Amino acid sequence: MRKLTNILVTGGAGFIGSNFIHYLFKDTDFDGRIINMDSLTYAGNPENLTEIDENFGGSRFFFEKADIRDYDAAEAVFKKYDVDTVIHFAAESHVDRSIFGPKDFIDTNISGTFSLLEIARSFWENRDNVLFHHISTDEVFGSLGDTGFFYENTPYDPRSPYSASKASSDHLVRAYNHTYGLPVTLSNCSNNYGPYQFPEKLIPVMIMNIKEEKPLPVYGDGKNIRDWLYVNDHNSAVWAIVNSGKTGETYNIGGENEWENIKLVNVLCEKMAVFLNKDKEYYKKLITYVKDRPGHDRRYAINCDKIKKELGWKQSVDFNAGLERTVQWYLQNQDWIDHVRSGDYRNWIEKNYSGR
């Protein structure tokens, strides 16, 4: 087990990062400090962490509004808190946005990661007990046909600006380990779902639109396949790697839970009908096939035997229970939805999606 004391979480105000911080305080025995560094893009919402801030703010939890691309600002955070561990979630994360406007993805995901690596390399020179953990995605491996899985050694074949930017950052992280000996670990995970996911991704879009009785936009023929994992199962995997993963290694994380998009949307209609006491067929009639995402990857499927065998991790949340928990969370948190939809999100949707 590594001794972790001052953990810098980048992107901790986003979907997975904020769930990760909740997870650390509530579900682990970690007793050190967490520093959340986030520039608060449209996807970052510090309200996700209000409860943590109320209970631990100023003693074990700290928030620093800073951009990972700003070397001086980020370096100051390393120095101020004597950071010994980085868990790097911060990124532009939405594939559709990367198609409409790739530049932010190149800047944040590649240049931002490069900047953090440079800071870590210099700040940690000649230090032991330090670790840079890089969060990545299964999308770097490309797209599968009807069979097969992504393994840790599957050659990279990114096909969207988002996945190409993540692939590039993964290569940089490995290069810093190989060339400079920077202690790193990496993880490549499949599609996450759960509370606090920004309502631009498939599951929250569908929950929101079903509730508001709006069309449910299914891209293409709806038969693209994704492997879904409850967000805290991703977080427990990351925690296992950060504590016990081998330096220099990559671990795949996945749900072993493949769903065609159209089947998943139908299940959401059925679940929402139960919660809202409505007719499921009425909701299903809202399903609308729309123009496909350009370059839409067909199927992702992760083999995660390595982390299971080497670190004893496994998924703990059954998909049925996880989906119900997620639907309930969105139904009970309309204020949160209204808030995150009030600014940039609405403008962006208007600009890019009108007429689709």
Residues forming the active site: 138-139, 162
165 forms part of the interface with ligand DAU (CB under 6 A): no
Give all strands of the β-sheet with 33-38 in edge-to-edge order: 61-65, 33-38, 6-10, 85-88, 131-137, 184-189, 250-253
In the chain, what is the greatest distance between 2 CA atoms, to the nearest angstrom?
64
230, with CB counted inside 10 A (0-12, 13-18, 19+), is buried
DSSP string covering 282-342, please? HHHTTEEEEPPPTT---B--B--HHHHHHH-----S-HHHHHHHHHHHHHH-HHHHHHHHT
226 forms part of the interface with ligand DAU (CB under 6 A): yes
Cβ neighbours around 32 below 10 Å, total: 13
Rounded to the nearest 5 degrees, what angle is found at the Cα of 44, between the Cα atoms of 41 and 50?
145
Among ligand DAU, ligand NAD, none, the one that 39 touches (CB under a kind-dependent 5 to 8 A) is ligand NAD
Choosing from 261, 266, 315, 326, the residue that interacts with ligand DAU (CB under 6 A) is: 261
94 forms part of the interface with ligand DAU (CB under 6 A): yes
For residues 81 and 10, the answer to whether their CB atoms sit within 8 Å is no
For residues 254 and 138, the answer to whether their CB atoms sit within 8 Å is yes
Q: Using CB under 6 A as the criterion, which residues of the chain lie in contact with ligand NAD when the complex forms?
A: 10-11, 13-17, 38-41, 43-44, 67-69, 89-93, 108, 112, 135, 137, 166, 189, 191-192, 198
Among ligand NAD, ligand DAU, none, the one that 11 touches (CB under a kind-dependent 5 to 8 A) is ligand NAD
Among ligand DAU, ligand NAD, none, the one that 261 touches (CB under a kind-dependent 5 to 8 A) is ligand DAU
205 forms part of the interface with ligand DAU (CB under 6 A): yes
140 forms part of the interface with ligand DAU (CB under 6 A): no
CB of 71 or CB of 156, closer to ligand DAU: 156
Q: How far is the CB of 174 from ligand DAU (least distance, A)?
A: 18
Q: Is 223 helix (H, G, I), strand (E, B) or coil?
A: coil
113 forms part of the interface with ligand DAU (CB under 6 A): no
CB of 120 or CB of 202, closer to ligand DAU: 202
Among candidate residues 208, 9, 174, the one with its CA nearest the CA of residue 89: 9
Q: How far is the CB of 63 from ligand NAD (least distance, A)?
A: 11
CB of 239 or CB of 300, closer to ligand DAU: 300
Q: How far is the CB of 32 from ligand NAD (least distance, A)?
A: 22
CB of 18 or CB of 224, closer to ligand DAU: 224
Choosing from 39, 85, 93, 187, the residue that interacts with ligand DAU (CB under 6 A) is: 93
The CA distance from 189 to 275, in Å, is: 30
Distance (Å) of CA 184 to CA 24, 312, 313:
20, 20, 19
Q: How far is the CB of 138 from ligand DAU (least distance, A)?
A: 5
Q: How far is the CB of 138 from ligand NAD (least distance, A)?
A: 7
177 forms part of the interface with ligand DAU (CB under 6 A): no
The CA distance from 179 to 176, in Å, is: 5
The CA distance from 162 to 322, in Å, is: 27
191 forms part of the interface with ligand DAU (CB under 6 A): yes
108 forms part of the interface with ligand DAU (CB under 6 A): no
Name the token pair of 11.
């992107």
Q: How far is the CB of 213 from ligand NAD (least distance, A)?
A: 26
Binding residues for ligand DAU (CB under 6 A): 93-95, 137-139, 190-191, 201-202, 205, 217-219, 224, 226, 261, 293, 300
